[in-house]
Amino acid sequence: MEMEGSSLSVRKGAWTEEEDILLKKCIEKYGEGKWHKVPSRAGLNRCRKSCRLRWLNYLNPNIKRGAFAADEVDLVIRLHNLLGNRWSLIAGRLPGRTANDVKNYWNTHLKKKVDPSSNPNPRLNPSKPNPKVIRPRPQILSNNSFPVMLEENKKNNTAVAAAAATTPASNNILVSANSGNGSSYCFPNENDEITRWENLMMNENEVDFQSEQRQNLINNINISVFGDQPIIEEMDYSTTSNSQLLELVEEDNYGNLDELSLDVDLWNEFEQ
DNA sequence: AAATTATACAACCGCCGCATT
DNA sequence: CAATGCGGCGGTTGTATAATT
């Protein structure tokens, strides 16, 4: 039995044009993946990881070349603020940029400019006390996207969705998903996605946790989907005491509506 | 103009979680 | 169950190029 990577005289270092061509042809023919098979298929004297890396970071035609645009830089900073050195996650939000690109860009262009002690996120800033519950701002979706979302829930066999309304005068509603039962949402259009991220990126420190939490609970509406009909159940917490509210929030893992405002996958990553 | 130092980034290394044996 | 293999990740580094002296 052969130990991993122990085969004799495997090529290392910079890739030649010939090697690139061989690898490209191999992936055109067999598709991406099955990296352990690639070296023999392509006729390359390289280990599988080297081949994978070369494709993912350089040869893949989806990779965006050239300098980072201003909005890309802004996103990197904000996402790094939120997530730390989770390069793969960050790159997932920057179309065409690889995790390696983002990491390199951070290390060479941004690292020294960002003072860690100025980071507003207590999770990533040792000089700040870590509150029990860290909560991003709730997302805001437009009213007309709501039915779409319910349809999506039905398709996904999602049993319960919860939603909260902002002030009656508002055109917006706050939408949340229960991560406990694995539900997730499809965001109906790009503007909603952008709005969601703008809200997510807001400085968490500016939020008055207590009062906002309370407001969310007071405005809470549970929406259950059974068959074709959404069942709307209003929850009135207006007379509930602060201590009771706190219990409710703590029961709910992260504070009721708040983690729900995150993309569920991202939240799971965030919480690891 | 040559020598040097600094920068950018492609690629490597070791580790991880998961699947298979 | 342990051992092994795999894809994937993030920290780090070797080196070509750019900038400076």
Q: What is the pLDDT of residue A25?
A: 96
Nearest to A58 by CA among A9, A12, A16: A16
CA distances from A209 to A173, A182, A236 (A): 19, 26, 19
Q: What is the pLDDT of residue A58?
A: 96
Indicate the pLDDT class of residue A13, thresholds 50, 70 and 90: very high
CA distances from A89 to A35, A94, A125 (A): 22, 9, 20
CA–CA gap between residue A80 and residue A86 (Å, rounded) = 8
Residues 6+ apart with CB under 8 A from A142: A171, A172, A191, A192
Q: For strand C, is any atom closer than 7 Å to the CB of A93?
A: no
A229 beta partners: A226
Strand C-proximal residues of A, range 188-217, CB below 7 A, are none
Q: What is the pLDDT of residue A125?
A: 60
Mean pLDDT, rounded, for A77-95: 92
Strand C-proximal residues of A, range 17-36, CB below 7 A, are 33-36
Report the first-to-last Cα separation within chain A, whole angstroms.
36
Specify burial of residue A61 (Cβ count, 10 A radius: 0-12, 13-18, 19+): exposed
CA closest to C1' of B9 belongs to A104
CA closest to C1' of B10 belongs to A14
Strand B-proximal residues of A, range 202-231, CB below 7 A, are none
A147-203 tens-digit pLDDT: 333 344 433 333 333 333 222 222 222 333 333 332 233 333 444 444 445 455 544
Residue type, A98: T
Q: What is the pLDDT of residue A269?
A: 44
Of residues A121 and A76, more confidently modeled: A76
CA–CA gap between residue A113 and residue A25 (Å, rounded) = 42
Instruction: List the nucleotides on chain C closer than 7 A to a protein CB.
Output: 4-13, 15-16
Which segment, A7-16, A128-137, A140-149, is predicted with the most confidence on average?
A7-16
Ordered by where they begin, the domains of chain A are 17-59 (1.10.10), 70-124 (1.10.10.60), 140-271 (no CATH)
Measure A33 CA to B20 C1' (Å): 18
Nearest to A139 by CA among A206, A200, A89, A223: A200
Nearest to A53 by CA among A85, A92, A94, A98: A98
Quickly list DSSP for chain A. Answer: -PPTT-SSS---SSPPHHHHHHHHHHHHHH-S--GGGHHHHHT--S-HHHHHHHIIIII-TTPPPSSPPHHHHHHHHHHHHHHSS-HHHHHTTSTT--HHHHHHHIIIIIGGGS-GGG-S-GGG-TTS---S---PPPPEEEGGGHHHHHHHHHHTT--EEEEEE--TT-SEEEEEE-GGGT------SHHHHHHHHHHHTS-GGGS-HHHHHHHHHHTEEEEEEETTEEEEEE---TT--HHHHHHHHHHTTT-THHHHTS-HHHHHHHH-
Closest-approach nucleotide to residue A108, Cα vs C1': B8
Lowest mean pLDDT among A2-16, A59-73, A105-119: A2-16
Instruction: Specify the residue for token string 């392509």.
Output: A42
